[in-house]
Structure formats: C-alpha cells, structure tokens
Structure 1
Amino acid sequence: MLVRFFAGSIHRQIALLAVAPVALFAILGIISENLTIKEPESVSQARSVAMRIELVVDMIRSAETADQESTILDAVRRTGIRVEEVSAAELDGPEMEVGLDDFRLEIENNLSPGVNAKLRAETESGHLQPVLVVGIDQRRALAFLPPPALPDSRITDREISDFLATMAMFVPVILLSLYGSRMIASPLQRFSQAARDLDPDKGPERPFEERGPPEIRTLAKSLNDMRSRVRGMIEARTRMLRAISHDLRTPLTRLRLRTERSTEPSLRDALLADIDALTLMIEETLVYLRKDTSKETQLRADLPSLINTACHDFADMGYSVAYHGPDRFAYPCRPHALKRAVANLIDNGTKFARHVNVELRVKPDLAISISVTDDGPGIPAEFHADVLEPFYKLDSARNDRGGFGLGLSIVKDIVESHFGTLTLENATPRGLIAEINLPSPDSIHMLANANAG
C-alpha cells in the first residue's frame, strides 16, 4: 500500500496528506459521538415542559388580580399546554399508576424538588383528564394536560449541528488542499507533456515554460538548456555525417570509373560489388539523415499498385517476390515514403531468404496491415527491438551483405509518421514476418488534429 502511495502522482500524495488528518479527526469525532450516551428527545422535551409549568406556577403566584391570572392561563393554553385551576385538595387524592417510560411521569420527575405535584387520572373539580396537578398555595392548584411526547428521531438537532460544523471545517480544507496540490503538480504535468511531445528536430527552441515559483523556473530553465545542448549535438552529428557521405561520393565515382576500365573481369566485378555496397551505405545514411518523409504531401494512393511496383522492381532484378491482396484500395498516405518502407522490408528479406511474400490486408474499419514474410533464418526474439534502432546490425543472426543498419530504422520512422506501428515476429518453421499496421482514414484525421494541437 505504501509503495503504491509513494509511486503515485504528487498531486494525489499532497491532497491525501492534507485531507487524511482532517478526515481522521472527523471520523474519530463521529465515533466518539456515537459512543457517548445520548439523551432521548422525549427527556429534553419533558424537561422543557417542566420548566414551563414551574414558570406558570410562579407567575400565578405573583399575579395580583384574577384578570391577570386568567390572562396568564389563556397564554399558556395557546402554547399547547391545556391548564385549569383546581382545588389544592386534589393533591391529597390517589396518584395514577403509569409506566416508567410515561411522558407525564418524566415531566413530574423533572420538576424542582420543592414543587408539590401529583399525577391524577381525573380531578373532582376539573374537566381535564388525566392531568398533572401542581400546587400553588394551600387553597389552589393547577391541573396541566401536557402535549404528547414527540417521537425520538434517529438524528438529533445536536448531531445535525455537529455535522454542519464538521463540514464547515472539512470542505474548505479539502478544496484548499486540492487547489494547492494542483498548483504544485500542474507545472510538473506540463513538463511531462512537453517532454513526451519533444522532438529534437522540430518545435520551439525552449519548449518548457519558465514561469511559476523559483524552483519550477529553475527546473524549466535547466531542461531548456539541456534541450538546446542535445539539439546542438544532434545537429553537429548530422552535419558531420552528411558532409562525410557527400564527400565520399566523389572518390567513389572516380574509383568506379577506374574499376570499369580494368582488364581483369573477376577483379573488376569484385571491386564494383564493393563500390555498390559503399554507395548503398551512403545513400541509406543520407536518406536517414534527411528525415524528409513528413514533408511529402499526403495523397489518396492505390496501395496495391504501390506495393506491386515495389515487388516488380525486385522481381526484375531476379528475386523471388510475390504480392497477395486486393487489386484496388485507395488509402491516404505519403506514397513515395510508404513505397520506400515496403521496398526496404523487401530488400531486407531478399538479403537473407530465397523467397519473399508481401500481403496487404484491409480490416473491417478500413485500417490496413502490410506484412512482408521471408523464409530466411529469422531474428532471435530478444533482438527484435534492437534491430529497429539506427546503426544496429545483427550479423550473427542474419548474414548481412552490406549496409549501416539503417533500413529498418527508416521503415520505422516512415510508419510512425503515418501514425502506424512496425512489428517483427519469427515465422514458423523459419523466416521473419515484418508487419506494418496503419490506422483507418478516420483515425488518421483525428490523430493528425490531436498531434497538431
């Protein structure tokens, strides 16, 4: 649990650390409230009625005239307590038997000790029944018919007030903690998003916003400076490789001309093969360094024709290459770049196999899959990810006859520029399956808009 907590987002950790103590305090308060002995509402109501009865008795004793007494009794009746004046002799009669939980007995028990009171089923001089008779003086008494007891509710007014007080403290703390955690985590989330979208060759010079608290500004400045240094190193490496590749073309051309004038056929053919291999390496390097696949205009191209053209080019050179798939299917793509990707996969297969199959499959949602299968030695599964990296060659697995190891890297870049994926899988019983998966046309538009945003 703790490992998952500390591995979670900073936003969640700060919010939880701020809210947890308050939540614990509220829970403990609720538990302690439930563990304390609660007083039923009927008891508090009985106490309130008893206090009012005593107040009425005191007011009657203080009244100077009969009119004042009549006015007081009328006022009491309007509050819901029926009352009438009776003889003090009613206090000498038998007391009515009631249960221990009777509301009238509860009222009697809450009267002050000096109050002379008795429960009577009825009085001889009055009309109310049953009543609580309370003495005024030696001659007079008051017979009260209290209102019925209110039922005890599950939630008392005190509990409601305690809950509201807790919420008044709890809710602002939650809101402030969430706001504070968001203020702290938001710049880090922006940095994370900027790092995911970062392209060394494109985008603004300083993609990380240098604003906010001093610590955040320092971090953003350091990331921007690091990005500038990385971009400078990549540009320097690219210029160096491009210059070397261009400079090698001239001596290679002179060497080819001199070799073609050689009078020894076997030596001439061997030298020309080496020159062709060097030329292929240079062209492959220049293609990889240009990274101009994204600059080509996207068109609706006929994929079967495009793939068939690549297959026929290799078949004309004497390789066994076959196409399987529909005769016509229009798909939005960069046709020259996609043809180069298919051609690179076919070329990779012809280097190590006797036969290559190219298959185009159209899925129900119009997404497509282009698989290039050969019958060569295949590639061990643990090296599938490595061979997609630039300048990586696995001579021990497949006896490469030349190249810098950029063919599959170029394919990967082209496929990813089409929002697709390139996967490698060993065939059974032998061979390699290189599969290009491209999204449906509708998905391409959504991904392009999301990428532009």
Structure 2
Amino acid sequence: MRNLRRASIQRQILILATLLVVLVSVVATISEPFTYGRHDRGFENGLFAGRAGIILDQFKRAGTEQQEAAVLKSAADLGLSVAKLPQDQVRANVEAPISSHELVARVKVLLGDSVFTSFQRALLGQSRGDALIVKVDAERGLVFQMPVFPAYLWLAPAVASGILKIVIPLILLAYFSSWLITEPLRRFAATARRASAESSVEEPFDFDGAMEIRSLAQSLNVMRDRIQSMVQDRTRMLSAVGHDLRTPLTRLRMRAERSGEPELRRLMLADIATLSFMIDECLAYFKDPSTSEIDRKVEISSLLQTIATDFSDTGVAATFNGPRRLTYVCKPQSLTRAITNLVDNASRYATQVEIGLEDRDDGGITIRVSDNGPGLTDELKAKVMQPFYKADQSRQIGAQGGSGLGLGLPIAKGIVTKGHNGQLTLLDRDPTGLVVLIDLPPPQAESAAIRPFGAATDVASAG
C-alpha cells in the first residue's frame, strides 16, 4: 500500500485501471450463477415450449373426447392455456399437421421477444400474449395461448448484473482511487496554507504521496528556504542601515539645538524628528514581533481598557465597550501594538474612537475598532492594506496630527493574520465612519500550559 501511494500518478492510474478489470471479472464470475439462475428468460421460454410439445403428442394419442379433456386438464395443471379448435376452423385451416418438434421451434420464435417488445407490452397493458393455432390432424386442432412474462423477468437480471459487475466496482474503485490520489494533494494544500501563516515552520511540505507530489514538495521547500533567507537578509540590512542612521541624526539634532536662529532650529528639529519617525516605522514594519513572541494567557478586557485609557490621557476620545473580565491566549505585546496602531490611525481622522470586545461561542473573540470619521470607499479599503499607501486626502475631517507612512494597517494586519491566524476586515460604520473588525480564532489545545501574561509590566513595555 505504501509503495502504491508513493508511485507516480501515471503508474497509480494504470494499476487502478488494471485492478478495476480484475475486480469486475471476479464479481461477474461469482454473481453470474445467482443472477441468471431461476429468472433466466430463455430457460422459461424453453420450458414452456417443451411442455407444449408434450401436450401436442398426448393430444395426438387421445382417441376419445374424455382422453382429450384429460390432456387439456393436465395442460392446465402445467400452467399452459390450451383449447380445442372447433372442427369448422380446422377444416378451413389449409396448413398441414405439425410435429411436436416443429411446435417447440415455433413457440420459441413467438416467445423470443426483444426488450423493446417487453416494454411495449408493459406500456400498453397487454396481459395476454399471442395465440398459436396448431393443426393436429384433419379433424382436430389446438390453440396455444402464449404467455406474457412479467417485465422484471426481462429487466431484473440485466439491472442486477450491471449493478454488481459495473456500478458497484466503479463506485468503490473511484472512491478509493480519488482518496489515494487527492488525499496527498489536500494535505499538501493544508500545509501550504499553514506555512503561509506560520513562517517559523521548518520543512512544512512532507515528502509523502505520489512521486510528482514529493518532487514538488522538495522544490517548494527549497524555494521557501531561499525566500526566507532573502527576507532575513533584507531585514538585517535595513536594521543595520536604521541603526547607522541614528548616529548622524543624533549629531544633527545636537548641532541644530545649538543654532542661534530659532526658526531655523525649529525647522531642522522637525525634519530630524520626521526622519527618526520614518526610520522607526520602517523597521517596525519589517520586524514583526509576533514571530518571536510566545503565546500567553492574558486578561484581554484589561488590555484593551488600558489602551483606551492611555489614549484618553493624551486627549483622544477613546472608550472601551466589552465584558469586564475575559481571558484569552494570544501574543499580548503584538496584539497591543496592532490595536494601538488602529486607534492611533482612527484618532487622526475622527473625534471619537470605540474599542469593542465580544466573546464568541466557539472560544474565539472579536475586536472592533470603530470611529466616526468620514470612512473609506470600497476601492480605498483594499488599497490602504498595501504598505506605504496613505488615504489622507479622503479622510481629512478631524485630523489631529501629521499623517503616518501608511504602515499602521499593514502592520496590524500582519500581526492579526500571521501572528494569531485571525482575520482583519474593514467595514462601514452607520451613519458614518469606519469599523476595523478583528476575528481571532479559539486558542490551540497546547496553549493551556502557557504561563499567564503580566498585563501591568508587559503592556507598559509594549507601549
């Protein structure tokens, strides 16, 4: 079985097709005697023709009317409908008397209906068959009423044979073959989705299944290692550049503060602050803390309430709406950073921001960050998820500070989707505004042993 699973798809199809032929042959050999036994149409026709021949011979030997009546009675006992032909019709019949062998042949011809004739009789409701007039001698004759066999005697053997020999083997083999070939593909697709969400998984694609799938898995693992190496090199390079830029920026700040012209000093310090902010934002985007942070059990209600309180202390009308106590296993520092980015982004374009929390029945949670700003069009909702895209021109009402680099939403989305396997969706708020909906799945089973999260220290350090 293992060798068949690891064979090439071409060889698997060839083996399964051969197995189908063998299976059909075995089933046909076993079921043939049971299918074409007592319900065989030809057997029934031959039996009737033989009995008719016997009755004809007995009637020929009958010398009296009592003997003829006895022969007709025995025919009725055998299930044959036979009547004596009147003498005037016998004299009018120009045919010569026939023997029993000729009668048997004629009966078989009359009973040898095709399946279409059987259908026609069934549709027309013909319960009586054709009549066969036989001349016994110059003065006597018989009328044989041909039977009409039930349609099931004609159709049931063929249907049963088709089901046993073709339909059932095909269904069983089709199910087995589809499972054999597609099951590795389904596992492969699930692994691909998991690998895209969990960048820390090493060698995610198992070398299992058909030869083509194993080759594809090996190639994808090599490609994934190269991509991860490129991303890590890029991150290290940007971190080094950002670190090296801080030194000349610090010298510029010190020289600008010693400037004797107040207006020039103010403008230079503002530009230096902007450069420092851009460097910090870019490094924060390329360095995802959720990849290194471990899951912890946290009082999610207190965490979100702390975020709302911190923004309220800075003059932002931020409120929290949710249960007083709710624990959840997550990466608290990363989640704090994501919610902070969303609230900070909303506070630039709205006068009121609300953080909502909902506990779902499946064990997951739903977080909503709503604002009363001008909202976004459907086209902009897709664009603002792209790094470095800013939609300031469409959301200028109530701006409370300078615009960012367009990294707040992408960073939050990365933390939610990659770090927590959740979903982040942008929705419209009634009557106006934007709602950022975060759906986080139930914690994994192994998260029960994770140590609790100290909200007071870790949240503070996250900010």
- TM-score, normalising length: structure 1: 0.62
Find the residue that maps to 1:388 and give its secondary structure: coil
Residue number in structure 2 paired with 1:359: 356
Distance 1:93 1:323, change over 3 A: closer
Equivalent residue runs for 1:47-196 within 5 Å: 47=49, 49=51, 91-94=63-66, 95-96=68-69, 102=76, 104=78, 106=80, 112=100, 155-156=152-153, 159-160=156-157, 163-164=160-161, 167-196=164-193
Distance 1:53 1:308, change over 3 A: same
Query: Please, which moves more after superposition, 175-184 or 418-427?
Result: 175-184
Distance 1:420 1:212, change over 3 A: closer
Distance 1:271 1:424, change over 3 A: farther
Q: Residues 327-351 of structure 1: CA distance to partner in whole angstroms, max 9, x if unpaired?
A: 4333333322222122111111122
- Tell me if 1:426 matches 2:428: yes
Residue number in structure 1 paired with 2:200: 202
CA contact (8 A) 1:319 1:350 kept: yes
Structure-2 separation of matches of 1:404 and 1:337: 19
Q: Which has the higher contact order (CA 8 A, sep 6+)?
A: 2
Find the residue that maps to 2:306 and give its secondary structure: helix
Distance 1:433 1:217, change over 3 A: closer
Distance 1:155 1:242, change over 3 A: same
Structure-1 separation of matches of 2:225 and 2:351: 48
Residue number in structure 2 paired with 1:436: 438
CA contact (8 A) 2:424 2:438 kept: yes
Structure-2 separation of matches of 1:437 and 1:105: 79
**Percent of pairs with identical residues:** 37
Query: Please, which moves more after superposition, 159-168 or 378-387?
Result: 159-168
Equivalent residue runs for 1:7-406 within 5 Å: 44-47=46-49, 49=51, 91-94=63-66, 95-96=68-69, 102=76, 104=78, 106=80, 112=100, 155-156=152-153, 159-160=156-157, 163-164=160-161, 167-199=164-196, 201-205=199-203, 207=205, 209=207, 212-213=210-211, 215-362=212-359, 367-398=364-395, 401-406=402-407
CA contact (8 A) 2:285 2:411 kept: yes
The number of aligned residues is: 351
Shift of 1:242: 2.2
Structure-2 separation of matches of 1:344 and 1:432: 14
Distance 1:89 1:311, change over 3 A: closer
Shift of 1:445: 2.9
CA contact (8 A) 2:350 2:372 kept: yes
Structure-2 separation of matches of 1:444 and 1:89: 97
Structure-2 separation of matches of 1:195 and 1:326: 37
Letter in 2 for 1:410: I
CA contact (8 A) 1:41 1:152 kept: no
Distance 1:184 1:419, change over 3 A: closer
CA contact (8 A) 2:373 2:432 kept: yes
Distance 1:424 1:375, change over 3 A: same
What runs of 5+ residues in structure 2 fail to find an aligned partner? 1-8, 22-39, 84-97, 104-146, 449-463
- TM-score, normalising length: structure 2: 0.60
Residue number in structure 1 paired with 2:460: none
Q: Residues 261-282 of structure 1: CA distance to partner in whole angstroms, max 9, x if unpaired?
A: 3344444333333333332332
Structure-2 separation of matches of 1:308 and 1:174: 59
Structure-1 separation of matches of 2:158 and 2:99: 28
Structure-1 separation of matches of 2:404 and 2:244: 18
Q: Residues 193-252 of structure 1: CA distance to partner in whole angstroms, max 9, x if unpaired?
A: 332222383223472527634x44554444344334433332333233222222222222
CA contact (8 A) 2:206 2:214 kept: no
CA contact (8 A) 1:277 1:403 kept: no
Distance 1:398 1:246, change over 3 A: farther
Query: Please, which moves more after superposition, 232-241 or 337-346?
Result: 232-241
Structure-1 separation of matches of 2:424 and 2:159: 63
CA contact (8 A) 1:46 1:107 kept: no
Find the residue that maps to 1:396 and give its secondary structure: helix
Find the residue that maps to 1:389 and give its secondary structure: coil
Q: Residues 157-184 of structure 1: CA distance to partner in whole angstroms, max 9, x if unpaired?
A: 9953873476235544554454444444
Shift of 1:50: 6.3
Structure-2 separation of matches of 1:299 and 1:176: 48
What runs of 5+ residues in structure 1 fail to find an aligned partner? 1-9, 23-37, 58-87, 116-149
Shift of 1:190: 4.0
Structure-1 separation of matches of 2:182 and 2:320: 53
Structure-2 separation of matches of 1:393 and 1:292: 23
Distance 1:285 1:208, change over 3 A: farther
Q: Kindly report the root-mean-square deviation, in angstroms, between the aligned alpha carbons of the 2 structures.
A: 4.6
Distance 1:318 1:223, change over 3 A: same
CA contact (8 A) 1:41 1:156 kept: no
Residue number in structure 2 paired with 1:26: none
Find the residue that maps to 1:227 and give its secondary structure: helix
